[in-house]
Amino acid sequence: MVQTFEEISASDFFYRNRDIAGFTNPSRAIFVAIREIVENSLDAAESQKIPPDVYVRLSYEAGATKETQIYKLRVEDNGCGIQPRFIPSAFGQILYGSKYKLKQTRGTFGLGGKMALLYGQITTHQAATVTSCTGDTNKIYTFQLMIDIQRNRPVIIDRKVQINKDNWRGTIIEFTLEGDYLRSMPKILEYFKQTAMVNPYANLTFVDPKGRLYKFTRATTDMPEPPKETLPHPYGVDVELLQRLISVTECPTMTEFLRYHFHRVGGITAQKFLEFNELPPNKNPKKLTHIEIVKLTQNLKKFKDFLPPDASCLSPLGEELLKTGIMKELNPEYLVVHQRKPSTYAGHPFIVEIGMAYGGGVPKTGNFVLYRFANKIPLLYDEASDVSYRVIGSMNWRRYKASADMPIAIVVHICSTKVPYKTVGKEFIADRAEVRREIANALREVARQLGHFLSRREHVDREKKRISIFSKYLPRIAEFSAMLAGKERIPDIDKLLKSVQKYGSEEK
Ligand SMILES: Nc1ncnc2c1ncn2[C@@H]1O[C@H](COP(=O)(O)OP(=O)(O)OP(=O)(O)O)[C@@H](O)[C@H]1O
Ligand SMILES: [Mg+2]
């Protein structure tokens, strides 16, 4: 039999394999769709340092099967908007986006928003509506779009232009999709709560199909500095990237090539490296042979004198905002946060931030409650496969006087230009040695402080108990001793009690 071959487009691939993007079943699909669109909105507002206002409405349209319904999802934001010429492809062409840059953003794949619309299209056969204004013009553009899945191209069904009378800026996405809201409700609400925790400067509103309103109000308008785009770091370069840079470079010499295209390489470092690599400094990069390029790549990784990447391409929350977020959503009795210094894995910079909360609103589940975040996205599935879960499991908690039956929440936030996700559904983080080490160090630091708090608390509790015993028995002892001694006046024990108490309160 003759084999037949065919080529499929990126859309077609994800249409056939939507599970790998998180669209596994009607319940999970509705959660992932909301999450992807909300994340685009948060990115769009944050990139301009605008405190995000995101309004999400999920409304019932019709019944579909026994368990599933057709819903309309509408998400409005006050972000940067999209220029009309990019709207069709941004929402109708898979693997198209503005975030394939070396800086921290929630979006990375150029896939999420489109997957939501594609899922909507194949389950309800209706067009999506995208309305947007960048604020630079007084025109608002509205597109009705579908995706030509086989060709991976947008199909514009309709396009309208309105005058922007109210100076509005932002984006509104509306489309229908099949889903099982009842089943996905707990995860969706948890998603909003955790998003509010790690974005304390955002206003999030969610109206569910029953008309219930969930409002997460911002606790601050302070925002982290937006990340700046960076160049590749020499430690993260491979032959393919080097060849691409060589083909576009206009630098006539190797020294200039290294200085211009790589992060943290100055003239002196470039010269030192070229000596190490045994290449003349004024060699034209375009004249390098394949063998020389391979050797260059290997030596870029071996050379010890490159400075580590700086963190301007990252936008961590910072200890204050992390505190604000955790206080706002968990309101614990005790909270400690810690931010690690920037570190790298395979040339990608990353920062780990950790919070540990005790008591108050922290739920008591019989286990540590772990909140995982990557680039300010809550990760809600596959906890047991995540690196943070493993690190927590491998720690000796008794050393810190902590145990799983206490109401303890651990918040782990990793931000990076390239978060080592294991799937395109962004569910859990791979166990990279460098990442694991940073999480473990950060955890030890906060655990130590929690340990101090817990032992102080234990001590205070012991003292309280001691004093309560004194105050219970001393009056009786005084009474009986007076009786035994045949005295009428019972001795004043207040002084004695106070001296014990004073000792107790000083100890606190
Ligand atoms: N609300 C929005 N405001 C402004 N631009 C948006 C908005 N939503 C999407 N975009 C643009 O559309 C592009 C595609 O979005 P999409 O979610 O498909 O991919 P992504 O966010 O780049 O990556 P990921 O697949 O990781 O989410 C984005 O890169 C962004 O430029
Ligand atoms: Mg996205």
Do 282 and 316 fall within a single domain?
no
Between the CA atoms of 314, 346, 412 and 225, what dihedral angle is there, to the nearest 10 degrees?
0
The predicted model scores a pTM of: 0.91
Which strand (E) or helix (H) includes residue 90?
helix 87-92
Q: Pick the ligand that lies closest to the CA of residue 423.
A: 1
Do 48 and 187 fall within a single domain?
yes
**Alpha-carbon 157 to chain mean position:** 35
Distance CA 226, CA 14 (A): 31
Do 295 and 330 fall within a single domain?
no
Report every protein residue that has its C-beta within 5 angstroms of ion ligand 2. Answer: 40, 107, 112-113
**pLDDT score of 507:** 42
Write a three-state SS string for 165-234.
Answer: CCCCCEEEEEEEEEECHHHHHHHHHHHHHHHHHHCCCCEEEEECCCCCEEEECCCCCCCCCCCCCCCCCH
Regarding the beta carbon of 108 and ligand 1, being less than 6 Å apart is answered yes
Do 148 and 62 fall within a single domain?
yes
Regarding the beta carbon of 97 and ligand 1, being less than 6 Å apart is answered yes
275 within domain boundaries: yes
Average pLDDT for runs of 10 along the chain of length 508: 93 94 93 98 96 98 90 98 98 96 95 97 97 94 98 98 95 97 96 98 98 97 95 91 95 96 95 95 95 95 90 95 97 97 89 97 93 97 94 94 94 96 90 95 97 91 85 85 84 78 50
**pLDDT score of 503:** 52
How many domains is the chain partitioned into structurally?
4
CATH of the domain at 198: 3.30.565.10
Do 30 and 164 fall within a single domain?
yes
2 within domain boundaries: no
Q: Pick the ligand that lies closest to the CA of residue 128.
A: 1
Regarding the beta carbon of 110 and ligand 1, being less than 6 Å apart is answered yes
* Composition of the chain by helix, strand, coil, percent to 5: 40, 20, 35
Strand order in the sheet with 128-133: 153-163, 139-148, 128-133, 170-179, 69-77, 53-63, 203-207, 213-216
**pLDDT score of 54:** 98
Regarding the beta carbon of 77 and ligand 1, being less than 6 Å apart is answered yes
**126: CB partners within 8 A, 6+ apart:** 120, 175, 176
CA 81 to ligand 2 center in whole angstroms = 14
**pLDDT score of 473:** 87
Do 441 and 473 fall within a single domain?
no
Do 360 and 409 fall within a single domain?
yes
Do 192 and 261 fall within a single domain?
no
Distance CA 291, CA 421 (A): 33
Distance CA 412, CA 427 (A): 14
Q: How many CB atoms lie within 10 A of CB 329?
A: 23
Do 77 and 21 fall within a single domain?
yes
Q: Pick the ligand that lies closest to the CA of residue 173.
A: 1
What is the token pair recorded at 167? 């100076």
Do 168 and 264 fall within a single domain?
no
| End position of a domain, from candidates 254, 276, 302 | 302
87 within domain boundaries: yes
CA 51 to ligand 2 center in whole angstroms = 18
Distance CA 148, CA 411 (A): 41
Q: Which of 93, 99, 136 has most ligand 1 atoms within 8 Å of CB, for mutation? A: 99
108 CA: nearest ligand 1 atom: 26
253 within domain boundaries: yes
Question: Residue 180: exposed, middle, or buried by beta-carbon count in 10 A (0-12, 13-18, 19+)?
Answer: buried
27 within domain boundaries: yes
Q: Spell out a b/e string for 109-143, using b for 16 or more CB atoms within 10 Å of the CB, else e.
A: bbbbbbbbbbbbbebbebbbbbbbbbbeeeebbbb
Q: Which residues face 63 on adjacent strands?
A: 69
Distance CA 488, CA 482 (A): 7
221 within domain boundaries: no
CATH of the domain at 249: 1.10.8.50
75 CA: nearest ligand 1 atom: 1
CA 90 to ligand 1 center in whole angstroms = 7
Contact 204, 54 (CB under 8 A): yes
184 within domain boundaries: yes
Host domain of residue 333:
312-448
Do 190 and 274 fall within a single domain?
no
Distance CA 72, CA 309 (A): 44
| End position of a domain, from candidates 448, 474, 494 | 448
CATH of the domain at 414: 3.30.230.10
Contact 202, 78 (CB under 8 A): no
Do 324 and 353 fall within a single domain?
yes
228 within domain boundaries: no
| End position of a domain, from candidates 274, 302, 330 | 302
